[in-house]
Structure 1
Amino acid sequence: MTTLTWNFRIAALFLATIPAVAQAQASDPAARIGAYDDAVIAVMKAKLATAARADRFEPLVKSYYDMPTIAGLVAGPAWAKASAADKASAVAALTRHSAVSLARNFKSYDGTPFTVDPKVIERGPDRVVKVTIGGDTLFYRMRETGGSYRIVDVISGGVSNLALQRADLATTIQTGGLPAMVKKLAQLDAVK
């Protein structure tokens, strides 16, 4: 067997495994969070200003979070009554809000490892993945959507980010619906 033929076979074998690796990651919540953490660290290592970090985090939020589910849970009963356009605006506003929050919380990387516990906790349709960052612990609650697990909540210090958002926005949504929520999030997310 020539070297060229051998190299071709190795390359073909490598390329054939890429879809299997991507599929395994999509169906394994811990692997998915590991990939997400790697992407967060990459943004932190880039040493960008807050607005630029938010811009880099936004595609990660779209890829790793189930923003329509989150928006529906944050909006509560108002979600069922809202128009499709208002729902789309709410999803976009919460996506941007999540990206800005990540940019404000993950500013630069100091080398602290993000350790993903491979033991995934099952809670009904949800999967919970534990991540330790230095002395802090985050729990990512995930749900399968469209063939891959996506984040629907992050719990830190025993406090649900989803519950906080819902409480913070409840009065705004009650008085002005989803358009008022979108407006309030835009005000909160103004990057200085």
Structure 2
Amino acid sequence: MKNRSVPFARMRYWLTLLAACAVVFAGTSAAAQQNEAGPSAVVERLHDALLDVMRNAGELGFRGRRARLAPVLRDVYDFSFVSRVVVGRHWGSLSDKERSTMVDVFSRLTVATYANRFDGYDGERFVTRASRDLGEDRAVVRTEIVGSDGEATRLDYLLERRGDGWRIVNVIADGVSDLALKRAEYSRIIRREGFETLIARLEAQIADYAAEAGS
């Protein structure tokens, strides 16, 4: 495995809330435990799919890993929401067609990124450390991916409840928000070079992943 418009206030809310939760995870009550099944099950479904493609990486190849992960990722992520967040204030100026294009390209890039990074298995395992209902249909699931040498990378998943279940809206790896990084990068590209340039770069990145894998 390789190394690893929604207002900005919404994202800051998530990061602040996650930090505040750190002091109460150890004391999760029995009542709170009953709320874990939904969000935890979503995250564990993702982890199971990742372990599957990691263990079968050579046989599947990049294309096979991408095909196997795509339906799972589209079920566990809210790509429409995340696409709005990473575009930031520019979402309001996009046409319906451009918004649809952004969601499509961003979802395909996410699938390709997972297929590219989770390209082998060396005894890694995922461990769910804690899960907490934050209220207002929000939850956080704290996990780790532990290598065969015992070194762990912390992965915190932020989820929101939708009409059809819980969906992942952000991943924080060792304290770094994937959502915040992408928002800064994508907003800068749109501001300086335009939306079409952003889409072209994302499409190029997808193509690069496939070329790198020789698929």
Instruction: Report the TM-score, using the length of structure 1 for normalisation.
Output: 0.79
Measure how far apart 1:124 and its partner are: 5.1
User: Is this contact kept in 2: 1:25–1:31, CA < 8 A?
Assistant: no
Measure how far apart 1:45 and its partner are: 2.0
The more displaced of 99-108 and 167-176 is 167-176
| Distance in structure 2 (CA, Å) of the matches to 1:163 and 1:92 | 20
User: Is this contact kept in 1: 2:42–2:166, CA < 8 A?
Assistant: yes
Measure how far apart 1:177 and its partner are: 4.2
Measure how far apart 1:140 and its partner are: 0.6
The more displaced of 106-115 and 80-89 is 106-115
| Distance in structure 1 (CA, Å) of the matches to 2:88 and 2:37 | 28
| Distance in structure 2 (CA, Å) of the matches to 1:84 and 1:49 | 35
1:138-177 correspondence to structure 2 within 5 Å = 138-177=155-194
Measure how far apart 1:176 and its partner are: 4.6
User: Is this contact kept in 2: 1:172–1:181, CA < 8 A?
Assistant: yes
Question: Which of residues 51, 62, 79 is equivalent to 2:74?
Answer: 62
CA distances 1:103-154 after superposition (whole Å, capped 9, x unpaired): 1221122332211134325265421101111111100111112231111110
Structure 2: runs of 5+ lacking an equivalent: 1-33, 147-151
SS at match of 1:77: helix
Question: Which of residues 22, 28, 45 is equivalent to 2:55?
Answer: 45
Counterpart residue identity of residue 180, structure 1? T
Task: Tell whether 2:208 aligns with 1:186.
Answer: no
SS at match of 2:66: helix
Task: Tell whether 2:93 aligns with 1:81.
Answer: yes
Structure 1: runs of 5+ lacking an equivalent: 1-23
CA distances 1:33-83 after superposition (whole Å, capped 9, x unpaired): 112211121122222222332232222221110001000000111111211
1:85-164 correspondence to structure 2 within 5 Å = 85-120=97-132, 122=134, 125-134=137-146, 135-164=152-181
What value does the CA root-mean-square deviation take over the aligned residues?
2.3
User: Is this contact kept in 1: 2:90–2:187, CA < 8 A?
Assistant: no
SS at match of 1:155: strand
User: Is this contact kept in 2: 1:75–1:170, CA < 8 A?
Assistant: yes
Bigger-Rg structure (1/2):
1
Instruction: Report the TM-score, using the length of structure 2 for normalisation.
Output: 0.71
Q: 1:124 to 1:159 in 2, by over 3 A?
A: farther
User: Is this contact kept in 2: 1:54–1:100, CA < 8 A?
Assistant: yes
Aligned pairs, how many? 169
